[in-house]
Amino acid sequence: MSRLENFISRMTAQRDILDYVCPEVAKMEGLVLELGLGNGRTFHHLRERLPGRRIVVFDREVGAHASSIPEAENLVLGEIRETGRKFIGIEAALVHADIGTGYDDRDAVTATWLPDLIASLLRVGGFAVSGTPLDHPLLQRLAAPTSEPADRYFLCKRL
Ligand code: SAM
């Protein structure tokens, strides 16, 4: 599979999983946290799928398309490992983390802190959607609702 095909497959799984969880999230109280604004495509998607819901977005810097930049009060700049700590206990309904790099060694470092952080940000029953696996005793992996291969994008529920 070429990198282009792999990317399309990953984005298809990402879209399918977000579309699956958004109606569930709409029934719950709690913030939505977007870890990794990037171009802002998934932020834009979440804003469309969850109208009126507060979405707080994290990144090192703003590099998004002008149509997809959060309001200043919903934008948190800096290293997520640090900035995310201030939100511990916030009881978010959804955390979406798209901060994988495609480099195993770098993603292994992220895996040492991201699952713990996400578990501490979510309410019980809340959802984590992630581009990298989230191994944590309080994050139950669910079968991804997509026809793409299981390792493309990950869905967990907070126990
Ligand atoms: N989901 C986005 C979209 O649809 O456009 C793409 C996100 S992009 C793949 C990942 C983003 O996460 C980049 O903008 C990068 O700066 C940010 N990022 C990755 N790791 C980070 C970290 N540890 N702290 C802050 N930002 C981080």
Instruction: Render each residue's pLDDT in the chain as its tens digit; 159 residues.
Output: 999 999 999 999 999 999 999 999 999 999 999 999 999 999 999 999 999 999 999 999 999 999 999 999 999 999 999 999 999 999 999 999 999 999 999 999 999 999 999 999 999 999 999 999 999 999 999 999 999 999 999 999 999
Instruction: Look up the ipTM and state it.
Output: 0.99
Dist CA 101 CA 85 (whole Å): 22
Name residues contacting ligand 1 (CB within 6 A): 36-42, 59-60, 63, 79-81, 98-99
Give pLDDT, residue 5: 97
Q: Given this model, what pLDDT does residue 145 score? A: 95
For 37, 49, 107, 118, the CA distances from 112, given in Å and listed in that order, are 21, 31, 9, 12
Q: What is the pLDDT of residue 96?
A: 99
Q: Which domains does the chain have, with CATH numbers?
A: 3-59+83-158 (3.40.50.150)
Atom of ligand 1 nearest to the CA of 110: 23
Q: Among 37, 67, 82, 83, say which to mutate for ligand 1: greatest number of ligand atoms within 8 Å of CB.
A: 37
